C-alpha cells in the first residue's frame, strides 16, 4: 500500500500564520486607496448633494410628480425641519402617508372591514418613472385579496383572488341575478330575436328593414355625467328607436299620436283631442282610450287593470298604472367597464345571447371567460410593454380603489390643507 506523505497538517505548516502582523508595501497601498476612496465619496456626496439631490435618488419620479421631483423634502419629510436633503440623517428614507396626504385626500377602502392599513407607497410605487402612477401592481391588492380576512364576520366577496385569471369569480349579476332581481330591473317587454330578424316589417309605407344593434343602442355621450359613466350604452329611447314602427295613434279620424310621457298626460291628451273630434261621445272616447292603453302601451309595458278598459265608463276611468322601463345605467357596481375601449369588437362577441333572447328579462351580459380571452393574466402596469396578443389584466384596470375619489374630497371639504398652495419656486429645483 502506498504511504501518503503529504498530510493536511504538513501542508498547513507551510503557511505563515503570523503573516498579518507584519507590514508589506502592497497592504499599505491598499489602506491608502481605501481611505482615499472614502474621502472622495464623501466629497462627491456633499458637493453633488448641494447641487442636486439626484445623487441619492432611487430612480426617476413619476410623470405627475416630476415637476417637484427635485424637492425631495416634499415627500421625504425631514426629521430636522429645514435640513433639506443634504445631511442624510436629516431625511426620512420612508415616506409617511401624511406627506402624500398633504396634497391628496384619498378616500378609504372598506375601512369598516379592513384589518390592516396599507401605506400609499405599497401600491403607488415611486422612482420607477411611471407614466401613470395610479396603475398599481396587483400585489397591492392581492396582499389582502389573495387571502381576505375581515375584522368582523366572514368576507362577503370571493376571498382567494390571485389574479384576474386565478380565483376571480364570475361577475355578480350573472351569479346572483334571481328572477326577482330581473323582474325589478327590467320593466319592458322586449324580444331581441324578433327584432333582429332579416326583413322585419318596417315603418308604415316603407319596405322591410333589418335592424342592427346600433339602431337602438348607442354609446352615451358622457357630457354632463360623471366620467365613471363614459363608455356605457345610453338607455334605449322610445322616440328614437320605437315610435317609427310602433305609433301611438288612438283614433283613425286623426293622424295625431299621443305623447310618450306619463299615462296621466297621455290620458289627458286623448280626452282633449276626443272632446274636439267627437264631442260628448263617451263610446268614442272609451274606444280611443282602449286602443291607446290596451293595444299600444300594453304592448311594451305592464299596464295594471288593462283588461278592464273596454268595460269602463268615462266617469270612473282611473289613470292606468304603467310599469316603467328600468334600464340600469350600469350592471356592475364594483367595477368599471367601457364600450369605447372595446369598439373594435363586435357586439355579438360579448352579447351572443341577444340574438336569441325572446324576453326583456333575459340577462345578456358576457361571462368572465369572454374577457379572459384577451385579459389573460398578463399585467405590466409599469412596463415593459405587453407582448402582442394580450390585454392588460391588472386589478387597477377595472376597479376603483378609493371609495371617495381624492379630488372629490378636496372639493367637498374645501379645506385649505387639502389644496396646499405651493409657490412655483417652492416646487421647482433651485438653480
209 binds ligand HEC (CB under 6 A): yes
* Cα of 376 vs its chain's centroid, Å: 18
Q: Which of residues 63-92 bind ligand HEC (CB under 6 A)?
A: 64-65, 68-70, 72, 74-76, 85
Q: How many CB atoms within 10 Å of residue 145?
A: 20
For residue 72, which phi and psi values (nearest 5 degrees)?
A: -50, -35
Least gap, CB of 288 to ligand HEC (angstroms): 11
Measured from the CB atom, the residue of 106 and 286 that comes closer to ligand HEC is 106
Count CA atoms within 13 Å of residue 222 on its CB side.
Answer: 10
**Among 273, 288, 396, 418, which residue interacts with ligand HEC (rule: CB under 6 A)?**
396
Per CB under 6 A, which region of 3-11, 94-102, 282-290, 308-316 contacts ligand HEC?
Answer: 94-102
124 binds ligand HEC (CB under 6 A): yes
Q: How many CB atoms within 10 Å of residue 388?
A: 5
291 binds ligand HEC (CB under 6 A): no
Rg value, the chain, Cα: 36
428 binds ligand HEC (CB under 6 A): no
> Omega of the bond prior to 102 within 30 degrees of 0, cis?
no
Q: Which of residues 223-252 bind ligand HEC (CB under 6 A)?
A: 232-233, 235-239, 241-242, 244-246, 248
Spatial CA neighbour of 249 closest among 257, 238, 237: 257
Q: Which of residues 335-394 bind ligand HEC (CB under 6 A)?
A: 335-339, 341-342, 345, 347-351, 354-355, 360, 362-366, 370-371, 373-375, 391-393
- Which grid cell sits at 120? 400609499
Least gap, CB of 413 to ligand HEC (angstroms): 15
Measured from the CB atom, the residue of 56 and 317 that comes closer to ligand HEC is 56
Q: Which ranges in 210-339 belong to alpha helices (H)? A: 213-216, 238-241, 263-277, 282-290, 298-300
419 binds ligand HEC (CB under 6 A): no
Contact predicate 349/364, CB 8 Å: no
Contact predicate 91/73, CB 8 Å: yes
- Cell 405627475 sits at which residue? 64
Measured from the CB atom, the residue of 284 and 410 that comes closer to ligand HEC is 410
Least gap, CB of 276 to ligand HEC (angstroms): 19
Contact predicate 114/366, CB 8 Å: no
Per CB under 6 A, which region of 20-28, 37-45, 308-316, 405-413 contacts ligand HEC?
Answer: 405-413
Measured from the CB atom, the residue of 277 and 363 that comes closer to ligand HEC is 363
Measured from the CB atom, the residue of 36 and 87 that comes closer to ligand HEC is 87
Q: How far apart are the first and last CA of the chain?
A: 83
Least gap, CB of 234 to ligand HEC (angstroms): 8
Spatial CA neighbour of 285 closest among 275, 293, 295: 275
Q: How many CB atoms within 10 Å of residue 35?
A: 10
168 binds ligand HEC (CB under 6 A): yes
* Cα of 404 vs its chain's centroid, Å: 13
288 binds ligand HEC (CB under 6 A): no
Residue 136 burial (10 A CB sphere; 0-12, 13-18, 19+): buried
323 binds ligand HEC (CB under 6 A): no
Least gap, CB of 38 to ligand HEC (angstroms): 20
Measured from the CB atom, the residue of 27 and 51 that comes closer to ligand HEC is 51
Least gap, CB of 253 to ligand HEC (angstroms): 18
Strand partners, 219: 233
Amino acid at each position: 500500500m502506498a504511504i501518503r506523505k503529504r498530510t493536511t497538517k504538513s501542508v498547513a505548516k507551510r503557511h505563515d500564520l503570523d503573516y498579518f502582523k507584519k507590514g508589506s508595501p502592497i497592504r499599505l497601498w491598499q489602506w491608502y486607496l481605501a481611505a482615499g476612496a472614502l474621502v472622495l465619496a464623501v466629497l462627491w456626496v456633499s458637493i453633488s448633494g448641494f447641487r442636486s439631490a439626484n445623487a441619492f435618488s432611487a430612480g426617476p419620479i413619476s410623470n405627475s410628480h416630476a415637476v417637484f421631483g427635485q424637492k425631495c423634502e416634499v415627500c421625504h419629510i425631514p426629521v430636522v425641519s429645514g435640513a433639506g436633503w443634504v445631511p442624510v440623517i436629516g431625511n426620512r428614507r420612508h415616506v409617511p402617508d401624511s406627506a402624500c396626504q398633504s396634497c391628496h385626500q384619498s378616500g378609504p377602502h372598506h375601512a369598516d372591514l379592513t384589518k390592516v392599513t396599507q401605506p400609499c407607497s405599497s401600491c403607488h410605487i415611486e422612482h420607477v418613472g411611471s407614466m401613470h402612477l395610479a396603475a398599481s401592481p396587483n400585489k397591492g391588492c392581492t396582499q389582502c385579496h389573495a387571502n381576505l380576512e375581515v375584522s368582523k364576520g366572514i368576507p362577503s366577496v370571493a376571498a382567494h383572488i390571485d389574479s384576474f385569471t386565478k380565483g376571480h369569480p364570475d361577475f355578480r349579476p350573472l351569479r346572483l341575478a334571481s328572477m326577482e332581481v330581473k323582474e325589478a330591473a327590467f320593466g319592458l317587454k322586449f324580444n331581441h330575436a324578433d327584432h333582429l330578424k332579416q326583413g322585419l316589417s318596417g315603418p308604415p309605407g316603407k319596405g322591410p328593414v333589418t335592424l342592427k344593434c346600433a339602431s337602438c343602442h348607442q354609446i352615451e355621450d358622457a357630457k354632463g355625467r360623471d366620467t365613471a359613466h363614459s363608455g356605457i350604452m345610453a338607455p334605449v329611447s322610445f322616440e328614437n328607436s320605437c315610435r317609427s314602427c310602433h305609433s301611438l295613434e288612438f283614433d283613425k279620424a286623426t293622424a295625431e299620436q299621443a305623447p310618450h310621457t306619463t299615462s296621466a298626460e297621455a290620458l289627458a291628451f286623448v280626452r282633449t283631442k276626443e272632446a274636439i273630434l267627437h264631442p260628448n261621445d263617451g263610446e268614442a272616447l272609451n274606444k280611443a282610450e282602449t286602443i291607446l292603453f290596451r293595444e299600444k302601451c300594453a304592448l311594451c309595458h305592464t299596464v295594471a287593470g288593462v283588461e278592464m278598459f273596454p268595460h269602463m265608463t268615462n266617469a270612473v276611468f282611473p289613470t292606468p298604472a304603467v310599469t316603467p322601463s328600468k334600464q340600469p345605467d350600469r350592471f356592475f357596481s364594483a367595477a368599471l367597464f367601457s364600450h369605447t375601449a372595446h369598439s373594435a369588437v363586435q357586439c355579438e362577441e360579448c352579447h351572443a345571447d341577444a340574438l336569441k333572447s325572446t324576453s326583456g328579462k333575459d340577462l345578456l351580459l358576457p361571462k368572465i371567460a369572454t374577457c379572459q380571452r384577451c385579459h389573460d393574466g398578463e399585467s405590466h402596469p409599469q412596463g415593459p410593454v405587453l407582448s402582442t396578443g394580450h390585454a392588460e389584466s391588472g386589478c387597477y384596470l377595472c376597479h376603483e380603489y378609493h371609495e371617495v375619489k381624492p379630488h372629490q374630497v378636496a372639493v367637498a371639504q374645501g379645506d385649505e390643507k387639502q389644496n396646499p398652495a405651493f409657490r412655483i419656486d417652492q416646487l421647482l429645483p433651485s438653480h
